Amino acid sequence: MAATALAIDSALPAFGEIRTAFDLADDATSVTGIITFFFIGSSLGLLPAGLLADRFGRRPVMWGGLVLYVLGAIASIFAPSLWVMFVARFVWGLGSAGPRVAAMAMVRDAYEGEQMAKQMSLIMAVFILVPTFAPALASGILLVGPWQAVFWACAVVAVVVAAAVTRLPETLEADQQRRLAGRDVVGGIRAIFTTPGTLGYLLCLTALFSVFLSYLASSEIILDQVFGLGDWFPLFFGAIALVMGGAMFLNGRVVEHVGLERIIRFGFLANLTSATVLLVVAVVTAGTPPFWLFVVLLGTVLFFQQMLIPNLNAAAMRPLGSVAGTAAAVLGMVPGVLGAIIGGLIDRQFDGTITPISIAFVACSIVAFAAWTWARRVEPPLDDLVNAMPAA
């Protein structure tokens, strides 16, 4: 999870040098494709990674993904044009899918219910906390080297991670391996989409990911163009990441005591309320509020959003233990691909103010809450879900 986050967040401080390298205007938003194409590749790679993880095990998929990750990073370094870099970033994203699916499937193999939500919060917290130092690390590298050095650093980290994960056990038992025959693949995917409530959770996660990915891609230009604080971007991004990581850790500590459904309901209420306040402030201040107020409100919105995502993933995975690798892939791929596309459309609405992304936060929160409400109405009772799960 850390390797995936590093590939995303370390690229953000390099946007300025990349714009210069490819003769782009200082305010060109096309460079955000570096994030968008990575996310699309990462999301599309989840399904094949999930199928392979259910067939051959979690460890081989993790290592294979890291190899492709390194190759994509090197290809991005030598890209002769921005569009070639987009293709390389897409491949880089494909590689990141292997470790991500393997990690999620390992958690589902070993845990159930609130314990699973707790562990998912932990690994998602790593994904979120890496941005606390990744932009600062990248900025430090840029002080002594070109933007390519940032991508080299990501490749080196992936090699270190590949060595470190040799300590992880294989959690897929031999008798649980699924064949890659077309009928079995289609049957596994059909089981996911026909499970009552799954479509609702997919829509819910897609809505939340859309605006979150838009924030990731546009945060640098918002800080620079709206507030004139581009030089402070690493500190700003790291502070917000600490807030989001704090939400993950807090969630991991309280979800067993509060209960999955209750904490999701509270998260939606708090998220929608804080997003609405942010939008009201944006409208009242013509899209340019005091910086401190923007940071407080944005941090609050993202805090509750990041409490929701691991819990919604855990809730959606409850009845899907027999196809955990494929389920982890689908639950990541669909929100990731659609979220990246929708997030890119949100990015294009940037008008020099925070108003477009504020509107997006409210709209996506409403859609997500409605989708969760529908999913809860149609899915089987919790006792049935637990009984349907194989023993960990």
pLDDT confidence of residue 389: 40
Q: What is the DSSP string of 125-168?
A: HHHHHGGGTHHHHHHHHHHHS-HHHHHHHHHHHHHHHHHHGGGS
Burial class of 61 by CB neighbour count within 10 A (0 to 12, 13 to 18, 19+): buried
347 vs 114 pLDDT, higher one: 347
- DSSP code of 225? H
Structural domains in the chain, CATH included, are: 2-380 (1.20.1250.20)
Query: Amino acid identity, residue 157?
Result: V
Percent of the chain residues topping a pLDDT of 90: 31
pLDDT score at 388:
40
> Among 88, 94, 111, 86, which Cα is nearest to 33's?
86
The predicted structure's pLDDT at residue 360 = 95
Q: Between 53 and 117, name the one with better pLDDT.
A: 53
Q: What is the DSSP string of 6-38?
A: HHHHTTGGGHHHHHHHTT--TT-SGGGHHHHHH
Task: Inform me whether the pLDDT recorded for 365 exceeds 70.
Answer: yes
Tell me the pTM: 0.70
Q: What is the tens place of the pLDDT at every residue in 88-101?
A: 999 999 999 888 88
In angstroms, the CA 86 to CA 105 distance is 29
Report CA Rg, the chain: 20
pLDDT of residue 67: 93
User: Both tokens of residue 388?
Assistant: 């349907």
Residue 197 contacts residue 205 (beta carbons within 8 Å): no
- The predicted-structure confidence for 211-252, as pLDDT tens digits, reads as follows 988 887 788 889 888 998 888 887 887 788 788 878 877 887
* pLDDT 10s digits, 160-201: 988 888 888 887 777 666 666 667 677 777 877 878 888 899
CA distances to 14, 112, 257, 384 from 92, in Å: 17, 32, 39, 40
**Contact criterion met (CB below 8 Å) for 31 and 82:** yes
CB atoms within 10 A of CB 257: 9
